[in-house]
Amino acid sequence: MKIAFVYDCIYPFVKGGVEKRIYELACRLRDKGHEVHLFGMNYWDGSSVVEREEIFYHGVCRPMGLYVEGRRSVFQALSVSYALFVPLLRAGHFDVIDVQAFPYFTVFPSWAVARLTGARLVMTWHEVWGEYWHEYLGWKGGFGRIVERLAARLGDLRVAVSATTRCRLQEICQKNGRFPVVVVPNGVDVSAIRETNPAEEKSDVIFAGRLIREKNVDLLIEATALVRRNLPDIRVCIIGDGPEQERLRKLVEDRGLENTVEMAGFLPHYGDVIGRMKASKVFVSPSEREGFGIAALEALVCGLRLITIQGSMNAVCDLVETYEGEIVMPDAGLLAAAIECTLSDGSEGAEHICVVPGWDDVTEDLLRCYQGLLLN
């Protein structure tokens, strides 16, 4: 089977949850004898098409910044989509084109190539924004909502990475008279996590993720200032970078938390992130909008307790319901109370290695979806 994955960013040049999912799936599909191609921005020197680890990488345009003033760049998304059509068409016939639905614009050239070549188009949905578009962009959000609904009309199969995303997507699909959505969740590299030793740098609370406004990391910092009144020796580690990094660093300074909160920045090696998780006690995911939450799942496997925020767009709540943890309203005082209670009860997090899906399982699930499409 010849398979194309389409997304604007490519792992390991950008290390987010979507990029990680595509890479893990691509490696395992390759190992099963399938020919795998990745399409996105060109982060490397030399030819726009390179082969690495027996996977073909197609750079469709020069790399551009993903964010403008803390929000996803529309220009960047349009530029990648405009540049995608010709390289995808010239790469030859694909059996399956798996396009990541967000940021939506790449769905349309992928659909056009699929129609021209007879490929089956799979759309993988990591989030569905719906009404949130208006909160994100104000009156301009109406355009984003229209594009999202148009994208939901296309494709042969819709895959959601979580039950929360499936429910939100089904609302759109039902209005469009479309078919149910299949859930193929994210996984973790259980073996790599088990083989990683805890880091020497200890912490009580940890966060790992992109430092963007929607992650609400400022809520964690405000909560830490409250927790420190009763637990003066608390140590918090924040891993990641992004457009909010400097603002969050200044907030740490303004609250006098320089010796309490470590802004660890971006850690390039996966083992370093896992090591820091294993050297902590509680993972806090303060985001109200999370399509899945791979970092939270990794934290559970590391044995950490999980605390997240109540929100209709926060799929980390699904992990709490499936495994264990605590969900609180988006309030610094309530989050502080949850952190303090969790740290004070003295119990350790349970290792959910036996029940957490690995990438091998996820690959098998997705492959069955592909094969079912090709048989119809």
Whether residue 325 is predicted with pLDDT greater than 80 in this model: the reply is yes
Between 138 and 176, name the one with better pLDDT.
Answer: 138
Between 323 and 285, name the one with better pLDDT.
Answer: 285
Residue 352 is assigned to a structural domain of this protein: no
Q: Assess whether 274 and 173 both reside in one domain.
A: no
The residue-averaged pLDDT of 16-35 equals 95
Q: Assess whether 135 and 235 both reside in one domain.
A: no
SS3 category, 80 = helix
Q: Where is 276: in which H helix or E strand?
A: helix 270-278
What is the rounded distance in angstroms from the CA atom of residue 142 to the CA atom of residue 120?
A: 30
Task: Tell me whether residue 250 is exposed, middle or buried, using C-beta atoms within 10 angstroms of its C-beta: 0 to 12, 13 to 18, 19 or more.
Answer: exposed
Q: Assess whether 141 and 11 both reside in one domain.
A: yes
On whether the CB atoms of residues 225 and 259 are closer than 8 A, the answer is no
Structure tokens at 269: 């090696």
Total domain count, the chain: 2
Structural domain that includes position 265: 190-344
Q: Assess whether 43 and 161 both reside in one domain.
A: yes
Residue 132 is assigned to a structural domain of this protein: yes
Residue 258 is assigned to a structural domain of this protein: yes
- Model's pTM, two decimal places? 0.83
Q: Assess whether 25 and 165 both reside in one domain.
A: yes
Other beta carbons within 10 angstroms of residue 254's beta carbon come to 10
What is the rounded distance in angstroms from the CA atom of residue 273 to the CA atom of residue 296?
A: 12
Q: Assess whether 272 and 365 both reside in one domain.
A: no
Residue 297 is assigned to a structural domain of this protein: yes
Whether residue 200 is predicted with pLDDT greater than 60 in this model: the reply is yes
Q: Assess whether 34 and 141 both reside in one domain.
A: yes
What CATH number is given to the structural domain containing 206?
3.40.50.2000
Q: Assess whether 194 and 104 both reside in one domain.
A: no
Out of 31-35, 305-309, 316-320, which region has the weakest mean confidence (pLDDT)?
316-320
Whether residue 317 is predicted with pLDDT greater than 70 in this model: the reply is yes
Please name every residue paired with 67 in a beta bridge, in sequence order, or none if there are none: 72
Q: Assess whether 183 and 194 both reside in one domain.
A: no
Residue 350 is assigned to a structural domain of this protein: no
Q: Assess whether 138 and 226 both reside in one domain.
A: no
